[in-house]
Amino acid sequence: MLKENLMKVQANIIKACEKSNRNPDEVTLIAVSKTKPLSDIEELVLCGTREFGENKVQELCDKYENISTPVNWHLIGHLQTNKVKYVVDKACLIHSVDSVNLAKTIEKEAAKKGVIANILIQVNIAKEDTKFGIDESTIYELLDEIKDYSHIKVKGLMTIAPFVENPEENRQYFRKMHQLLLDIKSKNIDNIDMCILSMGMTNDYEVAIEEGSTMVRVGTGIFGERNYNI
């Protein structure tokens, strides 16, 4: 079941790349395994998946400690400053940095552990009240702060698009994100590398790829529905 789902998503990614004249090698699929057991993750590892996304620090750390084969863990959910110390040396990429305060804490904890934290800036591109992420208008202030940090590398941008019935409704936001990424790239800021654009989930990853996504985060499409009551 998981294998079939995975193959379907991979085929859809290739189709979306063909449609937009992109090379499928430019798009990384992250299997979002939140709430799912290690046995599911290990089954996917056998199918070749190495990139997994979790939205909670505790769950990421538990799975990190207990998995039989090492994989790459992406922290995709909101990160509280008091939890940075647990995850800074375990996540290969933190997708959800959205404030100077959080960046400062990551810099401090990464320095303590002697690691360099790879991060993305989360942008609330649709300006939804319910979503985390920095407003587009203040992103340069944040980058201006981070450019002097020696234990953080900014790798790009991330967004969670609105929940919509028709994924076409999100095309405008994905396009805006891509433009923002290009704008930032063109400024050649120290320490700020804009090679990753993390956008697109089960409902809208194909549209996101057509608009330039380089990392799609797919949960339900691979693992099936999540049950939060167990």
Contact code string over 71-110 relative to ligand PLP, x by CB under 6 A: -----xx---------------------------------
Among 6, 31, 32, 75, indicate the residue that binds ligand PLP (CB under 6 A): 32
57 near ligand PLP (CB under 6 A)? no
DSSP the chain: -HHHHHHHHHHHHHHHHHHTT--GGG-EEEEE-TT--HHHHHHHHHTT--EEEES-HHHHHHHHHH-SS--EEEE-S---GGGHHHHTTTEEEEEEE--HHHHHHHHHHHHHHT--EEEEEEB-TT--TT--SB-GGGHHHHHHHHTT-SSEEEEEEE------SSGGGGHHHHHHHHHHHHHHHHT--TTEEEEEEE---TTTHHHHHHTT-SEEEESHHHH----TT-
The residue among 22 and 34 lying less far from ligand PLP, judged by its C-beta, is: 34
Q: How far is the CB of 212 from ligand PLP (least distance, A)?
A: 17
Q: Which range, of 109-117, 168-176, 178-186, 200-208, touches ligand PLP by CB under 6 A?
A: 200-208
192 near ligand PLP (CB under 6 A)? no
Q: Which range, of 44-52, 58-66, 85-93, 201-209, touches ligand PLP by CB under 6 A?
A: 201-209
Among 7, 37, 220, 224, indicate the residue that binds ligand PLP (CB under 6 A): 220
Instruction: Give the interface with ligand PLP as residue ranges (CB under 6 A).
Output: 32, 34, 55, 76-77, 160, 201-203, 217-221
